Homo-oligomer: A and B are copies of this chain.
Amino acid sequence: MTEIGVGVIGTGFMGKAHSIAYSASASVFGTGLRPKLEIVCDLSPQRASQRATDLGFSRYTDKWQEVVEDPAVQLVSVCTPNDTHAEIAIAALARGKNVWCEKPMSTSLADSAAMAEAADSAKAHTIIGYNYTKNPAVTHARRLVEEGRIGRISGFFCRYDVDNEADGARPWSWRMSRASSGTGANGDVLSHVISIAHFLTGSEICRVVGDMAIVHPERRDPNSPDSLKNVDNDDMIAALVHFENGVHGHIGASRVTWGRKCGLRWELHGTEGTICFDQERLNELQLFTRGDDLAMAGFRTLLTGPQHPPYAAFLPNGGHSLGYMDVKICELHDLLSAIETGKPVWPDFQAGLKIEKVMDAVDRSALSGKWEDV
């Protein structure tokens, strides 16, 4: 087993998740490249030092440049705030490093395009952290589509609801401003929906009509409790969409839905069957396929198990349940396999850019009131 040196930039939740994935990967899969935790970076040297110890890195730094320049590092995790992704990722690619970048790709289409261009020029692999497509239940769904089990795809429907900002009493934050954050629910939440749309259909959204709503248009100013600040990006976003392969669908997202914690639910309709999924029950796939015996027909619940790769690398028996972190390990495994074999991995920066373009088209359409091409 060959080692691959890794560096992680950013030590929030995602930096921690990447680090745990690096630690566990070889134990789980027992084959392929073995990550070696070289260096971790945080703006605070104290925190960087502490996290190096906790997470098992050999070194730490408070300057991300040291990570991308570190000769022992061949793979860089970009887990910093969204508006720094482009600079870091492009610098890493310029030095030939492979890059595992969290979603969304960046905060502007121009930055994302520059990242994709940098990836094209580099002899390195890239991946964007759209982890929900890496769940064995979801890759099984894609396999069922490829095997023709639901026939020709006829519709894709997906919403992703969370409650992060459901409470109108929460104060204004930078996330609620176009100037500081770009779109709202669109970039934060709908981006996952689009990644799944592309993954499951094997096609891409090419035309949209969108609509947005600001449910709490004014929020308390955190710096001036008696005054209010305007929210000017989307609490809710939705679109009717057309795919290049002719499929129609609708997608939507909200950051203000009470009771939904990770409420990503999709349906894939086909001429021979239907598949449904709910991220809050990530080990279950609902499948209906037409059959002759109507008295025996019904949606069946496929419980993830060893017959759904790479589940068997984690657990020998079905029904024992993977969690969020396990899916992140699957995502890393896809990247490491690509680096080892030289084969492509999805969603790389090119695929990520296509997702960003759909987000942009939805936003443009919500503002223009017209159907827009991606």
Task: Mark A residues whose CB is within 8 Å of B.
Answer: 1, 13, 16, 19-20, 23-24, 26-28, 30, 34, 50-51, 53-56, 140, 149-150, 154-155, 157, 159, 161-162, 164, 166-168, 209-213, 215-216, 235-236, 238-240, 242, 248, 250, 252, 254, 256-263, 269-274, 279-283, 287-290, 294-303, 305, 307-308, 314-326, 369-371
Contacts and interface: CB of A to CB of B under 8 A. Distances in A.
Contacts of A323: 314, 320-326
Given A26-B54, A295-B307, A209 B240 contact: yes
How many monomers of this protein are in the complex? Answer: 4
Contact of A20 (B28, B211, B370): B28
Contacts of A295: 140, 302, 307-308
A149 B236 CA distance: 21
5 contacts: A20-B24, A140-B295, A257-B269, A314-B324, A322-B324
Contacts of A254: 155, 269
Contacts of A273: 258-259
A170 to B, nearest CB: 12
Contacts of A53: 1, 26, 34
Given A236-B248, A261-B319, A282-B321, A168 B209 contact: no
